[in-house]
Structure 1
C-alpha cells in the first residue's frame, strides 16, 4: 500500500497561500476582461463613430450644396445675359412681331431670374447655417471629451489591475518553487482539469467540484493526521482543511 503524502505545517501554509494567490489572480483577471470602464469606452466609441459618420455625411452634403449654389449662380448669370440681350433687341428692333417675341422671352427670363435669386438665397442661408454648426475653420471632427475621460479612467484601472496581477503571478511562482515536487504536480493537475490547484473542504463538500462527500470519506478525513495530504475522491483536487485542533 502506498504511503500517503504528507506536508508539514510550513508546507501547508505555502499551499494555502498559493491557492489564495492564484484565486485572487483568477478573480482579477476575470475583472480585467469584463471591466465596466471598458464597456463604457466601447459605448462612447460607438456613439462617437456614429457622430463622425453623420459629420462626414454632412460634409458631403455641404459639397453638394456648394455645387448646387455654383450651378444656380451660373444659371442666374446666363438669365441676366439673356435679359440684357432681350432689352437690347427691343431697343434696336422696330419689327412688331419680333418685338412681341422679345417681350415674351424677356418676361420668361425675368421670371426665371427671380426664381434663381430665391433659390440662391436659400442655398446661401443653408450653407451659412451648416458652417455655424460645424464650427470655425472646418477643422474636422473633435473627439468627444467624455470618451477621452473614459479612456483615461479605463487605462488607469487596467494599469492598476495589471500591476496587481503581475505581483500575484510573481508570488505564485515563488510559492510553487517552495512546494515539494509531488505536491506541485498534484496542484498543476487540478489546475489543468478543474481550473484550481487546491480548494478548501467546505463542511462535507469539496470547494472545487462542490460535490457532497460520503460519510465514510468524511470520517476518514476527520481521522487523518494533520500532515496528511488529502485529495477530493471525486475530482482529485488537493483539499485544504482547518487543522487548528
Structure 2
C-alpha cells in the first residue's frame, strides 16, 4: 500500500484522537459515582426489607401490649368486684369470706405478673420503635446521598460527553486527510489490536509494541520508499516514520 508521508503522519494524529476517545469512553463507564450508586441502590432495597420487618415486629408488639393491658384490666376489674363484695358485709360465711379473700390475693398476684408482662412488652416496643426510626432515618440519608450522587454523575457525564463531542469533531477533520484504503486498514487493525492501529517508529523502536526492531528490519525500512506504508514485524501495526525514527 502507498500513501503520502503527510497522510501517514495524519494517521498518528488520528490515533491520538482515537486513543483519547477510548479513554473518555472508559472513564464514562467507570466513573466512581456509578459504583457508589449501585451500592446505595442495593442498600436501599435491603433497608426497605428491614423497615418492613421492623414495622411488622412493632405492629405485633402493639397488639401484644394491647392484649396484655386488657388482661390486666380484666383481672383488676374482677379484683375490684371481689373487694367490694368483701367490704359490703354481704358475705357472712367464714368459709366464703376465706375463699373470697384468697381469690383477691390470687388476683393481686396475677395482676402483678401481668403488669410485669406489660412493662416487658413496652420495653420491647420502645426498642422496636427506635429501630424503625433509625432505619427510616438511614433510608432518608441514603435517598439524599443517592440524589446528590446522581446529580454529580449527570454532571460528570455531561463534561465527558462535551469533550467526546469536540474530540469526535476533530477526528472527522483529521480522517478526511487520510486515504480511504489506508483509513480502512487502520480501522481494521485498531479493532484487532486493542484500539491501536498505527504507531510511530521512534529511535528504532515501535511505539505500538515497544519493541526495538532488529537490524534487518531497520535496513528494510531505510530502503523503503517514503510513500510505502510499512508494518511492524512484531505487532503488525502500521509503522509511521518520523524525523526521530533513528533511520
TM tier, smaller: 0.7 to 0.9
CA distance in 1, matches of 2:189, 2:145: 45
Structure 1 unaligned runs (5+)? none
Assess, with a 3 A threshold, how the Cα gap between structure 1 residues 226 and 244 changes in structure 2: closer, same or farther.
farther
Partner of 2:240: 240
Q: Does residue 120 in structure 1 map to residue 118 in structure 2?
A: yes
Conservation of the 8 A alpha-carbon contact between 1:199 and 1:238: yes
> Given the alignment of the two structures, is residue 107 of structure 1 paired with residue 105 of structure 2, yes or no?
yes
Q: CA deviation at 1:183?
A: 0.1
State the 1:113 CA deviation.
1.6
**SS of the residue aligned with 1:142?**
helix
- How far did residue 186 of structure 1 move? 1.0
User: TM-score, normalising length from structure 1?
Assistant: 0.79
Which deviates further from its counterpart, 192-201 or 181-190?
192-201
Structure-2 residue corresponding to 1:220: 220
SS in 1 for 2:239: strand
- The alignment covers a number of residue pairs equal to 239
Distance, in Å, in 2 between the alignment partners of 1:189 and 1:52 is: 50
Report Cα offsets for 1:112-133 as digits up to 9, x if no partner. Answer: 2223334434544654566577
Deviations 1:149-200, CA, capped at 9 Å, x for gaps? 3332222212211332233334434433442121012112202211222122
Structure 2: unaligned runs, 5 residues or longer: none
- Quote the residue 2:3 is aligned against: 6
Mapped to 2, the partners of 1:229 and 1:140 lie a distance apart of 63
Q: RMSD value over aligned CA atoms?
A: 3.1
Instruction: Give yes or no for contact 1:186–1:237 (8 Å, CA) kept in 2.
Output: no
The answer to whether the Cα contact below 8 Å between 2:54 and 2:132 also exists between their aligned partners in 1 is no
1:25 deviates by 0.9
The normalised TM-score by structure 2 is 0.78
Alpha-carbon distance between aligned partners in 2 of 1:123 and 1:200, rounded to the nearest angstrom: 79
Q: SS at 1:201's partner residue?
A: strand
Are the aligned partners of 2:15 and 2:198 in contact in 1 as well (CA < 8 Å)? yes
